[in-house]
A = this chain, B = another copy of it.
Amino acid sequence: MKRVYNFNPGPATLPLEVLQEAQAEFLNFDNSGMSILEISHRAKPYEKIHNQTKADILELMGLGEDYEVLFIQGGASLQFSMVPLNFATKEKPGSYVLSGTFSSNAYKEAEILGVGKVAASTKDENFKRVPRQDELKIDKNSAYLHICNNNTIFGTEFHYIPETDGVPLFADMSSDFLSRPWDFKKFSLIYVGVQKNLGPAGVVVVVAKKSLIEKSLETLPTMLRYDTFYRKNSLYNTPPAFSIYMVGKVAAWIKNQGGLAEMAKRNSKKAETLYKAIDDSNGFYSGHADKDSRSFMNVTFRLPNEDLEKKFVAEALENNLSGVKGHRSVGGMRASIYNAMTLEGVETLADFMEKFRRQNS
């Protein structure tokens, strides 16, 4: 079977074992005589995986009964609006740390509603690092402090959890969720567009303190209220069942592999391999991110000129290395190396980088 190393930022590579399992049972889910695509979301076999997926996510995060897992559609982009609609007001605004494109987009939605404040920004440095703790100006009257944990486009990641002095901490964790042990209890609300590290596009996993989401504003549209999802176990309307089913399989796979500690071990080995290839290249490759903000999920780097960058992308593809072109905001290359990317794939890329450098220096 032809299979490439897929370094795309999302949708992204998934564990091959998980895909094979889904393929094998595609026509007959849980011996129901129907596909997972065809089964009622009110049927017991579906309910079982829906609830197991929630339980596995909480277990992996080390969270207890004071947190709830919700499945919502619309992508992280809809969360950018749901968060301020549900929690921020002009009197008690949401504070935002701007560390990249998606955190800026989140802030924009709060701005549209007139309820956003900026706590810190590294925009002037083209987001090559995340703000330090000492740079965060958190209005104590904020409804929340919002961060984006990992910045897919710029290849930077928070390696500390901000101290907020009592302000609830919210995070978009779309691109590094479940990639490492993390003190999730410090967060009041987390949302994750799953198509990077957790499954196929089509569902957002929200993990929130129950006390925060058990009652929402009655003036909000029903589908924009967190309590609609909380009260009905995310089954108020038909959920994106197949996406949830795949998320469940990936969560189970993470557990079987050894959980977040094992993911972190593999992910840091992979990231080190690529950053070493950059750092040992005598300047042929230059990383975009400052070293202490380097992402373990998205490795961004430039080559000496754009012609070489085009050549790199083309020759990488010939070597079975797909999706290494960077985002136009940064230029150059980006290798996304989420949980499901194998060390073998990363080593193949590192070897290619070294060979390419020698041939083109």
Contact = CB atoms under 8 A, between A and B. Distances in A.
Interface string A1-36: 111101011111110100110110011100111110
B322 A10 contact: no
A223 B204 CA distance: 14
A346 B320 CA distance: 49
How often does this chain occur in the complex, in copies? 2
Interface stretch (A126-134, A153-161, A231-239, A303-311): A231-239
Given A1-B27, A23-B23, 11 more contacts: A4-B32, A9-B40, A11-B38, A19-B35, A20-B27, A77-B222, A77-B223, A77-B236, A77-B237, A78-B223, A201-B238
A322 B39 CA distance: 10
Question: From DSSP, what is the main secondary structure of chain A's interface residues?
Answer: loop
Interface stretch (A58-66, A139-147, A241-249, A269-277): A241-249
A268 interface: no
A37 interface: yes
A121 to B, nearest CB: 20
A81 B224 contact: yes
Contact of A109 (B1, B10, B222): B222
Interface of A: 1-4, 6, 8-14, 16, 19-20, 22-23, 26-28, 31-35, 37-41, 43, 73-78, 80-81, 85, 108-109, 112-113, 193, 195, 199-203, 218-224, 236-243, 246, 320, 322-323
B109 A34 contact: no
Contact of A73 (B27, B43, B73, B224): B73
Contacts of A109: 221-222
Nearest to A42: B8
A108 B246 CA distance: 33
Nearest to A25: B23
12 contacts: A1-B28, A8-B38, A13-B38, A14-B35, A14-B37, A73-B240, A74-B74, A112-B221, A200-B242, A201-B240, A202-B202, A240-B240
A33 B4 contact: yes
Contacts of A37: 11, 14, 19, 199-200, 246
A109 B77 CA distance: 22
B223 A38 contact: no
Contacts of A9: 40
B202 A73 contact: yes
A224 B75 CA distance: 12
